[in-house]
């Protein structure tokens, strides 16, 4: 059997310039975050446990409750004049919700709404200034 995989080189990451109310707005002005991003990670929100154990149970029983919001973190090179990074820093300051699109080289990907929960940067000797932006998802990922 042949391995199945998705390449990462050429992944496009876009953020809406202005606040948005839908995950993949057709009229949005999109800013390119991919030119400074070196890595990102997504984690779906953990679902709460609902205890359904009864007197007749032989062990503790649980069922899934509501999920917490997912999170995504973008990390990469810090570039103060980068318009996409400016948009994220502004969204952090004013709690605006923006639309995001991630498209892999195959053309498949996701769109979503999120707010910026944290923005940070790091400096070390013999390196470049790096930035990190952690987002809280609003709603679910939409396949594109």
For 69-83, give the DSSP string. Answer: PPEEEEEEE--TT-H
C-alpha 42 chain-centroid distance: 6
CATH number of 12-143: 4.10.410.40
What pTM did the predictor assign? Answer: 0.89
The whole-angstrom separation of Cα 113 and Cα 98 is: 6
pLDDT surpassing 90 at residue 1: no
CB distance 122 to 129 below 8 Å: yes
Q: What is the pLDDT of residues 72-111, one digit of tens each?
A: 999 999 999 999 999 999 999 999 999 999 999 999 999 9
Q: What is the pLDDT of residues 62-74, one digit of tens each?
A: 999 998 999 999 9
Q: Which residues contact 73 (CB under 8 A, 6 or more apart)?
A: 40, 41, 132, 133, 134, 135
């Amino acid at each position: 059997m042949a391995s199945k995989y998705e390449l990462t080189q050429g992944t496009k990451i876009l953020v809406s310039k202005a606040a948005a109310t839908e995950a993949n707005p057709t009229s949005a002005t999109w800013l390119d975050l991919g030119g400074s991003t070196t890595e990102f990670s997504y984690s779906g929100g953990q679902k709460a446990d609902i205890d359904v154990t009864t007197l007749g149970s032989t062990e503790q029983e649980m069922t899934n409750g509501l999920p917490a919001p997912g999170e995504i973190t973008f990390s990469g090179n810090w570039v103060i004049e980068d318009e996409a990074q400016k948009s994220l820093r502004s969204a952090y300051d004013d709690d605006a919700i923006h639309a995001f699109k991630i498209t892999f080289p195959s053309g498949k990907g996701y769109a979503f709404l999120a707010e910026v929960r944290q923005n940070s940067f790091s400096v070390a000797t013999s390196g470049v200034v790096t930035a990190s932006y952690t987002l809280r998802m609003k709603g679910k990922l939409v396949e594109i």
